[in-house]
Amino acid sequence: MKLDFPNVGETLHHTVLENGLTVYLLKKSGYEKTYATFTTKYGSIDRRFKTGDWVDVPDGIAHFLEHKMFEKEDGDVFQQFGRLGASANAFTSFTRTAYLFGATSNVSENLKTLIDFVQTPYFTEASVEKEKGIIGQEIQMYQDNPGWRLYFGLIEAMYAEHPVNIDIAGTIDSISAITADDLYRCHQAFYHPSNMVLFVVGNIDPDAILAEISANQAAKTFDAPLLTAREVIEEPETVHMTERVIEMDVSVSKVMIGYKDTPRPGKDGMKQELIVELLMHALFDTTAPLYAELYAEGLIDDAFSFDYTSEETFAFAVLSMETPHVETFVDRITSALERPLELGSETLDRKKRMMKGQFLKALNSPEFIANQFSRYALSGGNMFDIPDLLDAITLDDLYAAYDRLFQADHRTVCVVKKP
Amino acid sequence: MKGIEQFQQRLHYSVYPTQKFKTTTCLVSFAAPLSAETIADRALLPYVMEKATEAYPSIELFHTPLEQLYDASLYAGASKVGKEHVIQFQLEVVSDALVGEPVLSEAIKLLEEVLLRPNAYDGAFQPLIVEQEARLQRQRVESVYDDKMRFAQQRLQELLGGELAIPSFGTIAQLERVTPRTLFTAYESMIRHDRVDVYVVGDVNREQVTDAFAPLEGLGERFVRQYPQPVDREFQRLEEDQPINQSKLHLAYQVDIDPRSEDAVRMQVVNGLFGGFPHSKLFMNVREKESLAYYAASQYSSLSRMLFVYAGIDASNQAKTEAIIADQLADLQAGKFEDETLEQTKAMLYHQRRQLGDNPRQLIAWMSGSDIRPFSLEEEMAIIERTSRQDVAALANRLTLQAVYCLKGGTV
């Protein structure tokens, strides 16, 4: 199916293959590079699931599996991509694992390599053991990173039950329990074509690429999907802990203020994400009255940032700052958010233009398109709807989001500071 | 790269007209000789300038019209480039055709306000903004400590001395001497004496660009770009302890190669075999074979004539890791590597070059190096293609280990 999006100047080809694999192809004329992502809806939060019986797996296994997918009986997949002049990579998030390559030549061969290696598990006990040293160093590296510790400290304090409160890579202890059998079990459950999205963007011939992908998939046989359920978490709407202090040897204190939100799935979640982003831009951009006030007092500067995370089963807003005046900063921000919202349509219109501009600019990047489109697609949305969704948002939507999100018992403050 | 137009009015322009992007990207850069005396003022200057102008005298007032122009984004910053200090103002806007409004010309007017009519009176910038930005800059200097990779690299460069050791933002003591007046002096010097270059990538033509930037004609002076000469150094080693989990091992090799020569291009092949890619010797041996590290890589900086190696390891494995790194280099010097690895390295280097044109900012970064680099992208690829095993071995022998720095953890 061919879908035109004239307001963003893109045309998308969309197909669901017989085995359930969702394929998106986007032609970018004039681009040298073709970029492809092969993404499974499987991340660090999927630690208990049903394939016949309920299965529990060690924390960090989705990320561990991502690492081990690159090793095959006949060598390392990085080498195969390298021989074809492509650079490959992968990442694991709370909810997704993505494998990807960028290539300026041999696109068909690289695409075949990508699909085949992700669909061909090969694990041995020896190679699993070897990986524990490498991932152990990765975990140690993040342990020394104050920004990472702050972010996970915040999430741990916000969430009582939801496994988003566990580090994506797990711990040195939890990964020590991982076996080759565990990896096979997770691959079988989550790497079925019906749980995955393939996105290819570049100066491609969409019909020819689709024919190659279809032939590749038709030549393989897949069992029926095994996964019948994922654990449903009962997470309170309010935060687990309101404060958290992490002591580290840092030069300047770092603080994050988190507000826990109610997640919404699918298209509604996409709309909610845009509403909260518009709201946060209106409240916290350099053009906001609060920013000017705090800037004059030396309480806010370019070190300040904000972000909204929205997935099917969790959502939260984060304000982040580095300052020696943590208490004053937190007090000023939180008390401002306890007052009623004052926001006019002029500001909303300007923020809509701004976000539309940001979105259009991001479409220069094949990486952004493939990664973000896949993220929305795996939860039932279409990224190219963003301009229309933005247009439909009203001031009332922002007022409602403000009252829902910025409640005192939805707030956690996490600080990293010197002992 | 084919399709780049370079020409000189009084300013020097590099323009790449293309319709493939959703944006038009402009960059105005100001280059001056690197000096430890002026760096604190110059490094702070762009952060102060981008905040406000005479006509829009606060952050709020200046950023509002930028937001209104579909988020016209203005990024200002400064960096050390070899023997020069470069201040850059980058403007990125949605292309006019996509939104049906003349966004570009309006945004360039705002950029020109920043450059020509700053928020300054009687020879001094507005004190409030200077005070806040200087405070933040001091915090930036101090917070290098919190990023252990950056911290270790900074300490390594201090061991090497010369331009490499000059701190990018200046020292805390220098920053404390910056005032609204010294900053304005730095501004005046910048617009009078710096070499000014303009880069544009997007759906534009030459006339449009020269018309839009006409108000900047007359700024600056043209002078030939300076780059570092070889330095005689003693080998240095330093180890320091911090309460961290992972130790950071950083090595510096001096590269006895002129940055303008064909050998500098071939050296990219050596670096690619050594530690530039996931198929490289460092990654394959330090990480994949010995499981000593999550990252182990090398980076060649032709302009500073250095090749750096980095690995994050357990403190107890330092000697072993250093030995493996030395073995990998010895293999390269002896020409010991697979044909296939050489071909793979070349394929990756072609790929890196071919994809440059897909990203406006990377394209501009490439264009801004082109007056030091005498080769086009196509010529570079041809040089890479001709690089032989013998070339690699000979060039690997021109690497001399100059400094080893290890930030040691494990005392937690």
- Tell me if A144 and B148 make a contact (CB, 8 A cut-off): yes
Q: Residues B314-323: pLDDT tens digits? A: 999 999 999 9
Per-residue confidence band for B3, with pLDDT thresholds at 50, 70 and 90: confident
**Other beta carbons within 10 Å of B166:** 17
Residue of B nearest to A81 (CA): B344
Please report whether residue B229 resides in a domain.
Answer: no
CB under 8 Å to A348, separation ≥6 — which residues? A278, A282, A393, A395, A398
Distance from CA of B374 to the nearest CA of A (A): 23
For A80-110, write each residue's pLDDT tens digit: 998 898 999 999 999 999 999 999 999 999 9
> Is there a single domain that holds both residue A174 and residue A257?
no
Does residue B144 register a pLDDT over 60?
Answer: yes
* HSE toward the beta carbon, residue A274, CA cutoff 13 A: 30
Q: Do B56 and B179 belong to one domain?
A: yes
Same domain, B191 and B248: no
Q: Burial-class residue A398 by CB neighbours within 10 Å (0-12, 13-18, 19+).
A: buried
The confidence score (pLDDT) of residue B411 equals 46
pLDDT for res B11: 85
Over its length of 419 residues, how does chain A's per-residue pLDDT go in tens digits? 899 998 899 999 999 999 999 999 999 999 999 999 999 999 999 999 999 999 999 999 999 999 999 999 988 898 899 889 899 999 999 999 999 999 999 999 999 999 999 999 999 999 999 999 889 888 988 999 999 999 999 999 999 999 999 999 999 999 999 999 999 999 999 999 999 999 999 999 999 999 999 999 999 999 999 999 999 999 999 999 999 999 999 999 999 999 999 999 888 999 999 999 999 999 999 999 999 999 999 999 999 999 999 999 999 999 999 999 999 999 999 999 999 999 999 999 999 999 999 999 999 999 999 999 999 999 999 999 999 999 999 999 999 999 999 999 999 999 999 99
Mean pLDDT of B145-171: 94
Residues A221 and A264 in one domain: no
Within 10 A of B355 (CB to CB), how many other CB atoms are there? Answer: 20
Which pLDDT does position B382 carry in this prediction? 97
Q: Let me know if A202 is exposed, middle or buried by CB neighbors in 10 A (0-12, 13-18, 19+).
A: buried
The last residue of a domain, from among A180, A201, A230: A230
In this structure, the answer to whether residues A321 and A210 fall within a common structural domain is no
Q: Tell me if B224 is assigned to some domain.
A: no
Instruction: Please identify, among B163, B187, B216, the residue that sits at the C-terminal boundary of a domain.
Output: B216
What end-to-end distance do the CA atoms of chain A give, in Å? 59
Kindly state whether residue A31 falls inside one of the protein's structural domains.
Answer: yes
CB contact at 8 A, A175 and A113: no
Residues B176-228 pLDDT 10s: 999 999 999 999 999 999 999 999 999 999 999 999 999 999 899 988 888 88
The more confidently predicted of residues B294 and A146 is: A146
Residues 105-134 of A with CB under 8 A from B: 105, 130-134
Both B380 and B289 in one domain: the answer is: yes
Asked if residue B412 has pLDDT above 80, the reply is: no
ipTM: 0.93
**C-beta atoms of B142 and A251 within 8 A:** yes
> Among the three residues B216, B245, B279, which one is the final residue of a domain in this structure?
B216
Q: How far apart are the first and last CA of chain B?
A: 51
Same domain (yes/no): A54, A140: yes
Q: Which run of H or of E encompasses A172?
A: helix A172-176
pLDDT score of B35 more than 80: yes
State whether A362 and A256 are in the same domain. yes
**Do A250 and A142 belong to one domain?**
no
In a domain? residue B231? no
Which residues of A fall within a CB distance of 8 Å from B132?
A: 295, 298, 301
Mark whether A15 and A160 lie in a shared domain.
yes
Whether the Cβ atoms of residue A31 and residue B20 lie closer than 8 Å to each other: yes
Contact yes or no for B62/B107 (Cβ under 8 A): no
Domain with A287, as residue range(s), is 243-417
For position A351, which CATH number holds? 3.30.830.10
pLDDT at B6 over 90: no
In a domain, B187, yes or no: yes
Mean pLDDT of chain B: 94
Same domain, A68 and A216: yes
User: Can A234 be counted among the known catalytic residues?
Assistant: no
Shared domain for A373 and A262, answered yes or no, is: yes
Q: What is the DSSP pairing of strand B195-202 with strand B12-17?
A: parallel
Is A123 a member of any domain? Answer: yes
Look at residue A236 and tell me if it is in a domain.
no
Burial (CB < 10 A; 0-12, 13-18, 19+), residue B26, is: buried
Helices (H), A99-145: 107-118, 125-143
Nearest to A298 among B135, B291, B295 (CB): B135
- The strand pairing partners of A41, in sequence order, are none
Asked, for residue A235, whether it belongs to a domain, the answer is no
Domain span at residue B198? 5-216
Q: Which helix (H) or strand (E) holds B297?
A: strand B296-301
Q: Are residues A112 and A17 in the same domain?
A: yes
Q: Do the Cβ atoms of A82 and B360 come within 8 Å?
A: no
What 8-state DSSP symbol labels residue A8? Answer: T
Asked if B347 and A130 come within 8 Å (Cβ–Cβ), the reply is no
DSSP state, A304? -
Question: How many Å apart are CA B381 and CA B266, to the nearest integer?
Answer: 10
Estimate to the nearest angstrom the gap between the alpha carbon of B316 and the chain centroid: 33
How many domains does one find in chain A? 2
Shared domain for A207 and A274, answered yes or no, is no
| Claim to verify: residue B352 and residue B312 sit in the same structural domain | yes
Candidate list A18, A66, A73, A131, residue with the active-site label: A66
How confident is the model at residue B289, as a pLDDT? Answer: 87
pLDDT tens-digit series, residues A152-163: 999 999 999 999
Residue B107 lies in a domain: yes
> Is the same domain home to A226 and A250?
no
Check: CB of residue A276 under 8 Å from CB of residue A401.
Answer: yes
A203 in contact with chain B, both atoms CB, cutoff 8 A: no
CA separation for the pair A210, A23 (Å, rounded): 8
Tell me if A416 sits within 8 A of A250, measured CB to CB: yes
Q: Would you call B94 and A360 a contact, using CB atoms and an 8 Å cutoff? A: yes
**pLDDT for the residue B291:** 84
* Domain shared by B35 and B179, yes or no: yes
